Amino acid sequence: MSEELNKTYSPNEIEDKWYKIWEENGYFNAQHNAEKPGYSIAIPPPNVTGILHMGHMLNNSIQDAIIRFKRMSGFDALWIPGMDHAGIATQNKVERMLKEEGTSKEEIGYDEFLRRTWEWKEKHGGLITKQLRKLGVSLDWSRERFTMDEGLSDAVKEVFIKLYNDGLIYRGEYIVNWCPFDKTALADDEVDHTDENGKIWEIKYKIKDSDDYVIIATTRPETMLGDTGVAVNPNDERYKDLVGKKVILPLMNREIPVVADEYVDMEFGTGVVKMTPSHDPNDFEVAKRTGLEFINIFTEDAHVNSNGGKYEGLDRYEARDAILADLEKEGLLVGVKEHNHAVGHCYRCNSVIEPRVSTQWFVKMKPLAKRALEVVKNGQIKITPQRWEKVYYNWLENIRDWTISRQIWWGHRIPAYYAQDGTVFVAKNLEDAKKQAKEKFGVETELTEEKDVLDTWFSSALWPFSTLGWPKETEDLKKFFPTDALVTGADILFFWVARMVMMSLYIKDEIPFSYVYLHGIIRDELGRKMSKSLGNSPDPLDLIAKYGADAIRFSFLYNTSQGQDIHFSEKLIEMGSTFANKVWNASRFVLSNLEDFDSNAKIDSSEFKLEDRWILSKLQNTARQVNESFEKYELDTAAKLAYEFFRGNFCDWYVEIAKTRVYGQEGRDKTVAQYVLKTVLDKGLKMLHPFMPFITEEIWQKLDLGEETIMLSDFPKEEKEFVNLEAEKEFDFLKEIVNAIRNIRGEANVSPAKKIEVIFKTVNDAEKNILQHNAKILDKLANVEKYEFNTEIPKLVGFKLVETTEIYVPLNDLIDKEKEIDKLTKNIEKTEKELNKVLGKLSNEKFLSKAPKEVIDKEKGIKEELENKIAKFKESINLYKN
């Protein structure tokens, strides 16, 4: 006995209901079942400040489909949830809140600021995890982590200390990327470079004790306040005599030396380059090689400091305008050219980066990168799409040291302490640091804690093992590490993926995952990235409310080939929505016809009809292919296979045929059809479940199979005893016959509702036998009232050929001859106009003498094709007239 479904499919009703049941019953939770192998995925942790966007929808739909499949395939499956503290982004949020209150972090102080930030996190942070539930994600919420929770904070300290003690972390004064808005250093890969139209200004620098000048070309004239030299290429004959001399820095009247360095490009500008070592990374390196002085001219927020003379207090761009005006007034500005160049922007706030010398903490990356390269090259870690492996190699082979210190308050404070003489002690806490100091100095020593915090990506790099309890040796760590797959966007291949590989190999001596699935970007119909500023990014929650999560998930997964971008439109989701309704309505038919079915009935395979054997065999083949596709992480292929089976084979064919066996019928044939309907619906829903969890659970529960939830049932596997290739071949032949008859109807404009007669001609006994034994199917699916074999063929017929069987549909009594003749006459007139154009070309001597041979041949081919069409139209007219 099965329950009926509501007449109308209402996704919002069932989705909220089922998610609550799943979560409350702990169905998402890994169980540490010793009989099941472990399988795990760690979520790319969304920012605590984040809200659900289209990229999250795609990323989490992929992960959820994988984890649901594995859970149903006999694995103790764990999908680890969590959030990132998002240092800069969260601090910005809280600072804006304080500004609205009329105060600032500086006014309330460090401790109060942290208290307010934690308060903000508890109240406003983590909204995205609530929103993700609307999508149906089966994350193990009992194991949710946060990058600044106690366990992960311990892991961060442990790794930092180990890296420091192994000589892989150091502190030093270097030039870094500085964000003037966030007032912090950034790593190289946190800077977005965009090509912008700018200018090159040419400025005179007077040579000391001479009336001569050198011309300097610069894109940033404001930095000249910090010039400590000019450089030329030692191989540049024009300037050999200048090396060792001094020039006078304009406006500042400071003497600066001329140095030689091969870094200078003799072809760029004038071949003489100003050196601002504190504000340009290349100049910084030249200064180290040549001994130039370092002068910092900017404050943390990119205003000119006291080293800038009369320009002190001006913003960098205000200073630029003032300096250019003064240079022009003094006749020192000799030229301006348009120039397109790459400008670095902060990846968080989009402010223009200002290179700046400062004391920072760094990780030596080359030693860590070596093994991270090896494990991808030797296949231990597979990255898909494969083209990204080359990008991964290129970054690691040219890697620079990672700036890990940030000058903000929210984050993991660097576990370092300073004595008054500057000696550094790296330790988990002040007490341990004091012990180190006492061992070194022999007396109790006052220590000051480091104020900088770690780059947010530092804690994220530990994510695959820190979330499982490391540095403790937990049961989760033993069973679920290494994790199996990582699903993320290619845009964080360096920020996150590569660093996780490096840290995992360094700390655990194991890879963090074996498979990296890099998905594409969701773009709009014009191919643009979605953004609020463009107004082309719909609110995912609005889409879920309108279409349901299942429709969106299925549409995304059906259309997501590995690494390929999705061009989004609501039409895409309408496809998933239409399919969901199809699943609902077909299931409703099946369930409504199982009321009198005896679930204990024993069915012998000899009782199966051709359509039963066919659909059960198709089910096995589909199950095998869907399993294979999931194992290869080809989710779009798996979705297409499940769709084609359920919508095409089951709904469009088997269900339609089964209606003749269950409507108003009784007896054994009905029972067999009911058995097959129930079996196929059960397995079909299970194959769809990873893609459409809500609707499949709702329907499957009505089958009353004695299990708690579809998500913990067994995913269909191929059952060899039901594979019947002969039945598939026979039924596929029957399908082609039906389609051929339908096509004849369509071509002749014969209504599908009209009963027709068919004449078959065949010398193939097997084909004849199939047709003779399936009159009911031909009647139900092609509305064939009667058919005969090898009788006389009338003049006016529709004709098709399937295998060796000729199909004739007598049309004399089915069509309006005058109407068809009129239509064909119009077709002839239209085609003759097209033909006359082509004949005109082919009779034009000018065209024939100038056009290439392939163009003339193409026109001749079109002529022949049009003439054949006209001949066929005339032939049809003659048939109707006779």
Binding residues: 532
SS3 for 343? strand
**Tokens 């049961």, residue located:** 475
CA distance 687 to 35: 24
Q: Cβ(729)–Cβ(50) under 8 Å?
A: no
Half-sphere exposure of 504 (CA within 13 A, CB side): 26
CA distance 352 to 432: 41
First to last CA, the chain: 60
Q: Cβ(466)–Cβ(447) under 8 Å?
A: no
Tokens at residue 741, please? 């008859």
Tell me how many degrees the CA angle 166-151-503 measures, rounded to the nearest 5.
35
In the chain, the amino acid numbered 819 is K
Look at residues 523, 519, 574 and name the one whose alpha carbon lies nearest to residue 552. Answer: 574
For the CA atoms of 647, 650, 653, 654, the dihedral, rounded to the nearest 10 degrees, stands at: -160
CA distance 553 to 61: 6
The reply to whether omega before 538 is within 30° of 0 (cis) is no
Q: What are phi and psi of 198, to 5 degrees?
A: -135, -155
For 250, residues 6+ apart whose C-beta sits below 8 A from its C-beta are 203, 204, 205, 206, 224, 327, 330, 332
Q: Cβ(444)–Cβ(422) under 8 Å?
A: no
Binding residue ranges for ATP: 532
Q: Measuring CA to CA, how many Å separate 799 from each of 105, 161, 746, 808?
A: 84, 82, 12, 5
Tokens at residue 574, please? 């309408």
Q: Cβ(151)–Cβ(466) under 8 Å?
A: yes
The reply to whether omega before 385 is within 30° of 0 (cis) is yes
CA distance 524 to 565: 10
Tokens at residue 721, please? 């005893």
Helix axes 110-123, 87-100, angle to 10 degrees: 100
Tokens at residue 16, please? 């909220």
